[in-house]
Amino acid sequence: MNNDPLFHPGWIRFNEQRWGLTAEPLSFTPDKGDGWRLDTVLYRNHQGRLVTPPRNPHLPIAFQCASERPASRNRRKRLALTRLAEYLQQCEFGGSLSLSSVADDVRPFEWANMAARPRFTYHLDIATREDAIDPSARKKARKCRRLGYRCEVTEEYAAVADCLAGPEARKGFDYRLDAAELSRLAELMGPEHFVCFLARNAEGEAMGTRVCLFVPGGHALAWSAGMKTEAMKDGVNNLVAEEALDFFERQGCTVFDFIGANIAPVAEMKEAWGGRLVCHYTISQRGIRQLAREAYVTARTLMKRESK
C-alpha cells in the first residue's frame, strides 16, 4: 500500500484537469530480481517540461525493499534514487521539483548535476500524540470549546472556501480553490481520501476550516487551512487540528503531515503539536544562473578564508 494520498487516481486526475498537466506515473526496479521498487508520479506541462503542480506539497515517492537490513536497504535506496535521477537528467524542468521526504538521500540528484534545496515539515505520530503535544495547544482548543465553538466534518464547500479566504486576504496569496473546485476534488477522491473540517462559533457562523487528504492506515496531509481574522484569537486552528487528529485516528492513519514549516511563525505554531521535524528536498537543474550563483558563493568563501 502507498501511504501517500498524492498517489490517489482522483488526485492525479484533479491535477491534470485543474492545471492542464499530463501525469506520468513511473516505476523503477532492478535490472535483475525484485529486491527493490520505486514508484512516483511526475507531471508535464504543455511544453513537455516537468513541473510540481500548484498546491502540491511534493511529488509522491514510494520505495519498497525486500530486505530490512540497513546496509542492504541503504544501498538499494541509493540505486533506486539514482535511477530516478538519471531519468530526470534526461528531461527538461519547467521549475523546481519538490520531492517526497521518502527521497531522503539527495546525493544521486547532486551527482546528476542537479541543485538541491532543503525544505521542512512536521510529521506527527498519531497513535502516540498524547505524549507529544504541548499542553498549550490543548489549552487553546479547550478555550475555543468554552466559547461555544464546535467542529464537524462537512460538505458545505462554500463555507469552507469562505474560511480559506481568510489567510488569502491577510497574507496576500491565493489558494486558487473555490467551492466548485473543492466539490470536484471531493468527488474525484471520495470520502475515504478527502475530508473537510469546519468550525462554527456559538452563533453557527463558519469561522475556520482544514482540508485534508488521507489514506486509511497511511498518511494524512494537512493540505489547506484557513480561519477568519476575527476568530484567530479564539484558538479555532487548535480546535480544528485536534478534531482532525481524532478523526484520522479512527481511520487508522499513522502519520499526520502538517505540510510546511519554512516560515518562522508557521513553524512556531506547528511545532507545538510535537511532530518530528522532517526534511525533504526541492531539486532544480543547474543552469547558467545557478552555476554563477554557486561560483559567487565559492569565491566569497575563499576570499573570507584568505583574509583571516
**Stretch 59-88: mean pLDDT:** 97
pLDDT tens by residue, 172-208:
666 678 999 999 999 999 999 999 999 999 999 999 9
Domain limits, the chain = 5-112, 124-277
Residue 280's beta-bridge partner residues? Answer: 119
C-alpha cell at 15: 491535477
Helix or strand holding residue 239 (H, E): helix 236-250
pLDDT score for 296: 56
pLDDT tens by residue, 81-111:
999 999 999 999 999 999 999 999 999 999 9
Residue 53 has pLDDT above 70, yes or no: yes
pLDDT score for 2: 86
Percent of the chain with pLDDT over 70: 90
pLDDT score for 21: 98
**Stretch 295-304: mean pLDDT:** 62
Greatest alpha-carbon pair distance for the chain in Å reads 68
**Stretch 148-173: mean pLDDT:** 86
Fold of domain 124-277: Aminopeptidase (3.40.630)
Instruction: Using pLDDT thresholds of 50, 70 and 90, give the confidence band for residue 171.
Output: low
Query: Are 51 and 43 a contacting pair, CB within 8 Å?
Result: yes
- Other beta carbons within 10 Å of 285: 18
SS3 62: strand
Q: Evaluate if pTM is beyond 0.75.
A: yes
Task: Say how far apart CA 54 and CA 32 lie, in whole Å.
Answer: 37
Residue 290 has pLDDT above 60, yes or no: no
pLDDT score for 52: 98
Query: Are 254 and 245 a contacting pair, CB within 8 Å?
Result: no
